[in-house]
Structure 1
Amino acid sequence: MSDTLAITTATPADAPALKALLEAAYRGDSARQGWNHEADILDDERIGREELEAMLADPAVTILTARDGGALIGCVAVTRKDESLGYLGMLCVSPTLQSSGLGRRLLDAAEDHGRALGLATMEMTVIDSRESLIAWYVRRGYAFTGETRPFHALRPADAETGPQITFVVLEKPLSPA
């Protein structure tokens, strides 16, 4: 990473680059270059093009992007669930830049965005078997709520034959800055 790092809000024009980043960081052999991937758990696409485009068009969703020069190297999504609750998702960093501190910078930016929206709490779901990722979030102030949620397969056929996955719910109070 250079000194030209910028964290900005994604636009619909960013959809192709965001999709490529998300797939590279979460799935397939490219994801295995970093520590934060789901490649050993899931092998389908991380997000569909239409789902990503819908998120970019949704006024309740803000996707923040990290760029080094002009290159997209990370992202995180904040979704307003109600007046006080936000949902943090899609935090990812290019696999070759993981452990560089960029994930932490994106997490901080997402929490700052939540505070700017007046949110009191940020929640997220994490696949329960991703112990090192859960520990990373716990070190940053997120706590288990005791709630779990089912993982819904992208393809109906995978619901019966795919891995049985459960999300744990973590949350963090967003105190005013």
Structure 2
Amino acid sequence: MSEVVFRAATLDDVAALHPLIERAYRGDTAKVGWTHEADLLFDTRISAEELSALIADPDRVVLLAYRDDVLIGCVQVARASEDLAYLGMLTVEPTQQAFGLGRRLLAAAEAKAVSRFGARRMEMTVINRRAELIAWYERRGYGPTGETRPFPVDPPRPELDFVVLEKAL
């Protein structure tokens, strides 16, 4: 397998990045992989406008992963506080899952949180009903904080909430 190259996203990447995120999280294409939310949620994961705003925000970085000049993954890192970064939108092309790219994206995000934001801790939120995904993060050093946060949908869906996980960097 050829080398994976990481770089920060720019606004020029939105047209390629947006469909990757949608097919990894929603719809039948997502079901090829194991990290999807397609059985729980049916709306869009993120709009192109929201994605553009994330990329333009100086307190965030979206890292892209390429293999052979093909976009195969991404992850967002955001400054949350003086020593805390937030990890979100860890995305792997569904056909590329289970080959270690998620672990590599996670490591790249943690390194970027330290180098760009001076973070000493990283937190994330995972839908409470995603036990296999929570377990995957726990195997990588993230632990539950005991905090939960409401899932941001209207109308509210009480059966869904976020579990907050955190790791020291």
TM > 0.5 fold call: yes
How far has the Cα of 1:110 moved from its partner?
A: 0.3
Q: Which runs of 4+ in 1 moved over 3 A?
A: none
Match of 1:167 in 2: 162
AA aligned opposite 1:84: D
Match of 2:107 in 1: 108
Residue by residue over 1:95-145, the C-alpha shift from the partner in whole angstroms, topping out at 9 and shown as x without a partner, is 001000000000000001111131011000000000000000000000000
Match of 1:148 in 2: 148
Q: Do residues 84 (structure 1) and 86 (structure 2) align?
A: no
Match of 2:2 in 1: 3
Name the CA distance, whole Å, in 2 between partners of 1:84 and 1:49. 29
Residue by residue over 1:77-96, the C-alpha shift from the partner in whole angstroms, topping out at 9 and shown as x without a partner, is 00001210100000010000
Name the CA distance, whole Å, in 1 between partners of 2:130 and 2:89. 15
Name the CA distance, whole Å, in 1 between partners of 2:143 and 2:4. 30
Percent of counterpart pairs with the same letter?
55
Match of 2:132 in 1: 132
How far has the Cα of 1:163 moved from its partner?
A: 6.6
Segments of structure 2 that go 5 or more residues without pairing to the other structure are: none
Name the CA distance, whole Å, in 2 between partners of 1:148 and 1:68. 36
Give the superposed CA RMSD. 1.1
Name the CA distance, whole Å, in 1 between partners of 2:20 and 2:128. 23
AA aligned opposite 2:130: R
Residues 32-71 of structure 1: pairs in structure 2 closer than 5 A = 32-71=31-70
TM-score, structure 2 length as denominator?
0.96
TM-score, structure 1 length as denominator?
0.92
